[in-house]
Structure 1
Amino acid sequence: MYPNENYVNDIKYTIQLNRVICRLLGIWPETKSSFLEHLKKISLILGCYFLLGCELIPTILYIVFVEKRTRIRLKLISSVMFTILAVLKYSSLVLSKNQVRNCLARMKDDWRNVTSTSARTSMIHKAMTARRLLILCGIFMYISGLYFRTIVPLSKGKTITNQNITIRHLPCPSYFVLFNGQISPAYEIMFFIQFFSGFIKYTITVVICSLAALFIMHTCGQLEILMTLINSLINETEEKNLDKKLAFTVEHQIKMRNFLRLVQSTLQYTSLLEVMGCTIIVCLLGHDVITGEKLALTVCTLAWYRLPNAKARALILVIATSIVPAKLKAGKFFDLSIRTFGDVSNGFTCKK
């Protein structure tokens, strides 16, 4: 019999949402699985790769063979990079399934062996925080994904080119070599394929954030228990009990550090890919920001004195307007610029 009699319900509450979201991608590490369950997981994994490939390859072909405008190509490259990173992150999750299983086993062991009511309450509170973080991440990712994958392409309607060709927009611009993606039912099929491909990409991000939140908040709960154990050493008067408590405290600290190492080895590559993806997006966004600032620089360095006086006066309004270029803002709070990005980066560096 384990010290925590409610460990079954506690473990179920802690990992319930993580199990649901990971099972959508076929990467939840079951303790025991039948042949049919194993076949189902393999089918889900292959299906996810197929849907991601159905979006990635036609978009790359569109950039290479159809789209010739550099500015539009840069915007599409950001979408391609996001998909490539999603494939890499998904591969990392598939390969680290056994490590996730080991982390979950350590967590279950901690839930079984928790002794005091206050320690159990602290762990439940941390598990509740991890669930809330998962729910918030899912809400933001899926709502934004639904908007960009359905409302944006459908709101554009149909476009008629100069050659009198009607174009129906897909969530991602694509070029299909073997068939015409504008004819029904090929258009509808590809629309739904790209929709579900986006759903997979957003789910991959939610899974990574949910696992990180689950393991980190569990670690925070164990840290609080460790601090309680350390504080209790001061109040102990009997030397025999002090030795037992000291040994238990050291053992708990060693277990916690081993768990942290296991979490580090499990999430290090997915975390690296997340940072790389965000950095690439910031760099592409910075290109657009710099292009806005170049307008002001061009106007301010214009050789206006070479024009006749009447014509030079006509440029005053243009110069005055261009000195304050249009800027992208984050929630109307601060500018999205290279300067702001540098200030934020320096702020984090100083705190570290």
Structure 2
Amino acid sequence: MINQKQLANALDDSVTAKQNESHISDFYYAVQISICLLKPIGAWPLDDTSRLKIALHKLHMATGMFLILFTIVPMIVQMIKEKWSAFLILRMICPLLFTMAIFARYILLLWHQDRLKSCIEHVTDDWRSTIIAEDRDIMLANAKTGRTFGIVSVAFMFSCGALYYMLPMVLPNAINEDNVTVRVHPSPCEFLVFDSKASPAYEIVYFFQLLSGCTAYSAFCGICSLMAHFVTHVCGQCDVLTAFFQDIVNDGKHNNGSIENRIATAVTRHLRLLRLVSDISNLFTEICLVEFINASCNICLLGYYIITDLNNNESFIQISMYIFGLASVIFNVFLVCYIGDLLKERCQNVGTACYEIEWYQIPSKKAIELIMPILMSRYSTTLTAGKMVAMTLTTFSDILKTSMAYFNLLREFSSRD
């Protein structure tokens, strides 16, 4: 079997190999969207140890948490103070639940900053050690796929957010029982220390709610983009690793040296890739659980809002906002399930590629060392929701079916009332 010395030598060879001269620009190209969205809110790990940078980083985190809570807390206060009816609570529970889910995902990402930094450093090392042009092209193609997912997520989410925060400006103001015009905010709010409906408090609260929405949408899209980037990066590494296993039999540009060193190099890279997959899965498992619950509830509620508003002939802009919101939630949960399925498939393909090499040309005592990578590739490696539910396309269909079941139940109760 492969001994520790061979593994150490193979790892040392990979570390001291010639570096990719454009690895910094390649890495930035892959994670550009995530950096632009997460860094302003303090969710991107700090790479500088100066006191000023640390203080600014903590200030960004505190500001991000304050802005998101600026929407959540006043909404809950108004629900309690005004003793809303079940119908009003049902109408407002979707934005509240959605914002709380984003806040939970944001806090979880901050909580796992060390693990996130470790994954980023791992990815950076992969780009640095990619010196073969074909491998770099494979990784760039997968990085482009991750960027595409991030761009579509941003387009859906911020389009829906623009409609949501524009709604009070285009809809007629409400009139209370005293025949007084009441100006409303995008999100219901109640501040016990001042009247948020009177100027200039109204404009100030409106501005802070707009900032809160931008912060929440940046956190939501940034995490989705980051998840897509990590998974597509692993997919690219799986394709590169396949070439390493194929070069075990015939000395090639990916994997050369003696047969012992070739097997050791391939196995070492496989173990390193599996460590990255494990770190990514552990990093996002609670976030995926929050997304699973959020999507199941909000698909049901948004569908209910659309049907109800169509029956009541509500504003086209309001209905369009709910349609955009529904499309955004469905796309983002589909994104998580699709990349989870993709991750599972690509990791299994590594074992298939190892099995399909011309192992009969290798001495039998050496060929038996390839059994371990094949067996390890058979174990399920995918994103999970709280390590309970695998985020695959099958799970996506289950979420849609569950949401439609709750939607039909909700619509039935509403029609009886």
TM-score by length of 2: 0.66
Describe the superposition over 1:203-259 as per-residue Cα deviations: whole angstroms up to 9, x where unpaired. 11111101101110110000001112222334449x963332222111110110001
Distance 1:160 1:67 in 2: 19
- Residue aligning to 2:372: none
Distance 1:118 1:4 in 2: 13
Q: Is the deviation greater in 96-105 or in 47-56?
A: 47-56
RMSD: 3.2
- Residue aligning to 1:215: 230
Residue 268 (structure 1) aligned with residue 321 (structure 2): no
- Residue aligning to 2:301: 284
Describe the superposition over 1:271-304 as per-residue Cα deviations: whole angstroms up to 9, x where unpaired. 1111111122134357679999xxxxxxxxxxxx
- Residue aligning to 2:146: 130
Aligned residues of 2:41 and 2:63 also touching (Cα < 8 A): no
1:147 to 151, 163, 168: 163
Residue 83 (structure 1) aligned with residue 99 (structure 2): yes
- Residue aligning to 1:21: 37
Q: Is the deviation greater in 73-82 or in 214-223?
A: 73-82
Aligned residues of 1:158 and 1:166 also touching (Cα < 8 A): yes
- Residue aligning to 1:315: none
Distance 2:228 2:157 in 1: 16
Number of corresponding residues: 305
State the secondary structure of the residue aligned to 1:51: helix
Distance 2:70 2:184 in 1: 16
- Residue aligning to 2:192: 177
Q: Which has the larger radius of gyration?
A: 1
- Residue aligning to 1:118: 134
- Residue aligning to 1:187: 202
Distance 2:400 2:29 in 1: 37
Q: 2:138 is matched by which residue type in structure 1?
A: S
Residue 32 (structure 1) aligned with residue 85 (structure 2): no
Residue 5 (structure 1) aligned with residue 21 (structure 2): yes
Distance 2:39 2:205 in 1: 25
Describe the superposition over 1:49-84 as per-residue Cα deviations: whole angstroms up to 9, x where unpaired. 222222112211222222533212112122222222
Distance 1:330 1:43 in 2: 36
- Residue aligning to 2:58: 42
Distance 2:100 2:164 in 1: 18
- Describe how 1:65-76 pairs up with structure 2 within 5 A: 65-66=81-82, 68-76=84-92
- Residue aligning to 2:70: 54
Residue 199 (structure 1) aligned with residue 252 (structure 2): no
Describe the superposition over 1:308-349 as per-residue Cα deviations: whole angstroms up to 9, x where unpaired. xxxxxxxxxxxxxxxxxxxxx989x9xx9xxxx999329999
Aligned residues of 2:251 and 2:257 also touching (Cα < 8 A): no
Q: 1:24 is matched by which residue type in structure 2?
A: P
Aligned residues of 1:99 and 1:262 also touching (Cα < 8 A): yes
Q: Is the deviation greater in 1-10 or in 91-100?
A: 1-10
Distance 1:155 1:134 in 2: 30
- Residue aligning to 1:302: none
Aligned residues of 2:94 and 2:302 also touching (Cα < 8 A): no
Q: 1:210 is matched by which residue type in structure 2?
A: S
Distance 2:222 2:400 in 1: 29
State the secondary structure of the residue aligned to 2:247: helix
Relative to 1, partners in 2 of residues 1:29 and 1:81: Cα closer, same or farther, differing over 3 Å? Answer: same
Distance 1:342 1:24 in 2: 33
Aligned residues of 1:59 and 1:174 also touching (Cα < 8 A): yes
- Residue aligning to 1:259: 276
Distance 1:140 1:346 in 2: 20
Q: 2:227 is matched by which residue type in structure 1?
A: A
Residue 92 (structure 1) aligned with residue 105 (structure 2): no
State the secondary structure of the residue aligned to 1:171: coil
Residue 226 (structure 1) aligned with residue 241 (structure 2): yes
Aligned residues of 1:157 and 1:169 also touching (Cα < 8 A): no
Relative to 1, partners in 2 of residues 1:347 and 1:274: Cα closer, same or farther, differing over 3 Å? Answer: closer
Q: Is the deviation greater in 33-42 or in 103-112?
A: 33-42
